Every structure is written in structure tokens, then in C-alpha cells.
Amino acid sequence: MKVYLIGAGPGDPELITVKAARIVGQCEVIIYDDLIPLEVLLLAKPGAEKIYVGKRAGMDNLQQPEINNLLLELARKGHSIARLKGGDPCVFGRGGEEALFLAEHQIPFEIIPGITSAIAGPISAGIPPTHRGLAASLKIVTAHEDPAKEAGFLDWHLLAQENGTLVFLMGATRIGAIAARLMQEGMDGMTPCALVQDATLSSQRHVATTLKDAADVAQEHQIASPCIMVVGKAVELSRTLYTKPDLPLAGTTVLITRPSHLAFRTASLFSAQGARAYLYPLVEITPLPYETPDITCYDLFVFTSQNAVPLFFEKIFANGLDARAFAGKGIYCIGPKTRDALKYYGIMPDGMAQEFRAEGIVDMLKSRDLSNKRVCLPRARGARPYLAQALTNRGARVDEILVYETTLPQNTDKQGFMAMVDKVDTIVFTSPSGVKNAQKLLEEDIGLLKEKRLVAIGPVTAEAMTKLGLPPHLTAREYTDAGIIALLKGAKA
């Protein structure tokens, strides 16, 4: 029983801390605010309960006392809880209030700091919040307090005398009022000012102006929430320090359908290239019960999926064995993701297929004598029979060990899937299972996907798509996420 008050970072999912990502992956319940990236939620372990309690534009899903009581109720049931907040939990995130409430009720808790947009936002626009000779101080101010009101916690006269940097958070609707109040209290209207929307995301845009023109510029550029307002001389550095990132996929919107435990990395790769990645997992990896094999009787182990590796080795290691038990065995894999999964368990494969499919494994082993060799093939139920048959034809004795199956994730539905499809111009399929599950959801309406650019990770997936009447527009030559990205870059060039 413990509550973790976690800062999820300023927006870019890769800016969540290593510690925060680890804890999210361990907790049984995820309670999250608005603007938490979906990629971060997908760090949760399978089966974790996710509860949205967000607030936006003055509209609360739950009032703060209700959130406090929810944390208390779940903690008393013995759950481990990740309370996710945007930015840092204690910078206008009410993390301190929740911590005090938990302390009063003797609930164990821990605050996990996060990167606040008050720092990341200016930096992402080329504005150092402090800079020698320009800004020796930084003040972070909530824009929720109405600048027109005389009473309040903010001393506007003191803020107007500030010679450092002011950062106003949550102020998209009050840019004009903030600027007017600062000038009313004596701040020069020519003071540099910047407005940063969607800070740190691939959709970020910002504009540098002056305090007196801030309201007009915000309206002209249609600056909307989430937005930060930066005021001070350091803003001038943006013109020199901001370099527009090389984002070859900027403007591309991509729907990623791979399993949730793999989606975070995939989405991050697309986002790093400027694409807006949306996630709707169409495949879930479900472990299957199986008898622990006697590994001493096998000559070769062949892994054709990164998903099979942990399900196999964790069971082997649970019996008191480790990587040394595989000494002298031939271990082969299908691609770099599977190779990296093996390395995690201390196994360096003897070979990796050049073509990342079953045919590549067969080609890799063509010079090896397989007569009467025992081959262990941990894999998914329903996997293509080609590999096992080809190895058997070479004289090997193949044992297929079914360690998992692919299923349609819970809580998927036609309406939810199509809502995601409507947001994108490109849909990426990374397995035949994903294609088949799309057909299960849409049934006779599967043809609606033809309106989008369809991308297959490789020929096996492309074949499955074609059989369902969805021939891909593009098929990656290298059957990896990087291969798909290279393909899309080439298509856009």
C-alpha cells in the first residue's frame, strides 16, 4: 500500500523520468490528470486500472476532495497507486495538498519530481529562464488568478518591477489581461514576451512579441491551451538560440496498432521525427500455461518474437537456472528487437536472421547440419507453420512451445477505433494479428480503412492485409519501426 505522487513531465512522453516510468509500470492503479500523454499511460502493467480525474478550462471531472478520498479508499484496499500529474506534482499541481491529506490519514506516500513546463517550455522555444546579464531570477506564476481583481495572493505591482523572467502557467485565456495588468502596474510595454503552445511536443508553436502586443498576437496566431507566457529580457535570446528541429515527418499523423507494452517506444520514435502519433493497440499478448522444458535435451533454441523471450526465460530462471544453463547451445533470433530481449537475460545469440521473418531463419541455418538435432521453438499460438515445417524437413526434431497468444485487447470497440482512425492520415500494422483484429472490430466496414495510407511492417503483414482487402500502400524493407519511419520519410520526400 503506497501512493506515488508523480510528475509526468511537460508533454513530450520521453521527458518522463526513469524513476517515474519504472514506478508507473509497477503500480496496480493509475490515477491521472488532463494532458498526460497516452504513451505514459501505456507504461502501466497489463491489467492496471486507469482512472481519469482531470481538470481543464475550469471544468472538473472530480473535485479535489473527491480525488483525495479516492486515493484514500484505494490505498486502504492495499493498492499501489500512481497519481500522475502533468509537469511537476508540486508546481501548481496540488501535489502538496494531496501529500498532506495522505499524511493526515497515515497513508504511505512518495513524491516523484517531474520536469515542469515552466522550465521546459521556455527552453524548448530557445529561451533560457535565467541568463547572465539578462535574468538573474525566475518567478513562476499561476494565471488562474484573475488579473483584474485587486484582492488575491499575487502582488502585481511587485511582479511588474521584476527584472528577471516571469513565467505564467495555464494562461491561454488571460494573456491580454495579464499584459494589461503588468503595464498598469508600471512594466514597460516593450518588454519582450513569448507565448508557447504545446511546449515540447512535435506540435509546439511559439511566437515572440512585446507585452503591449501580446493580446493581439495571441489572437492573430490563435494561441490556445495548453500555453505558457514568458515575460522578460531573456525572451530576446529566442531569435538566436531557437533552431527549428529537423522533423521530416512533421504534419504526418500516424495510428500505431501494436501491443501497448511496445507502443511507448514506437510512438516516441515517430514523435522524434515530427509525426503526431496516436495509439490504439489492436493486439494484446496473453501468456499461456506450459510445462517448463528440460533445456538440457535441446541443441538449438530459435526465437522468432521479442514477446516470447521474457515469457520463456522468466519461467526457466524461476527454476533456479540462469544464462549459464544455455552454454554450448545454439541460440538464434529473428531480428534486433528479439536480439536485444535476449541480451537482457544475459544471452548473446549465435546468429540473427538478415531477413526478419521465418524465411530468414531458415536461410541463416542453411549451412548447419540439423539432422536429429533437437530444436526448441518458443512462440505464439497460431504462428505460421512454415518455420517448424522447414526445420523438420531438414531433419530436425522441433518442439513448438506455445508461450503466449495474441488476443484483441479488452475495452476495444468499433466506435473507439474509428474515432482514432478519423484523426490520422496513416495507419501502421505491425503483425497479421493486428490486421485480423481490425477486421473483427469493423467487420463489413473494414473497407473504410482504405481511405487512409496503409503501411505494413513487412511482407507477412502485407499478405494478411491484402487477403482482407486492404493492400498496403507501403511495405517496409526493414521489418522494424525504424524501417517504417525510413519508408515514410522517403514517401514524403
List, by residue number, the catalytic residues.
33, 55, 170
Q: Sort residue 422 into left (φ over 0), alpha (ψ -120 to 50) or beta.
A: alpha
Report the distance separating Cα 305 and Cα 431, nearest Å. Answer: 11
Please identify which residue in the block is written with the cell numbers 533560457. Answer: 128
Q: What's the grid cell of residue 173? A: 485565456
Residues 6 or more apart whose CB falls under 8 angstroms from that of 443 comprise 414
Longest dimension (CA), the chain: 89
CA distances in angstroms from 431 to 106, 282, 286, 457, listed in the order given: 48, 10, 15, 7
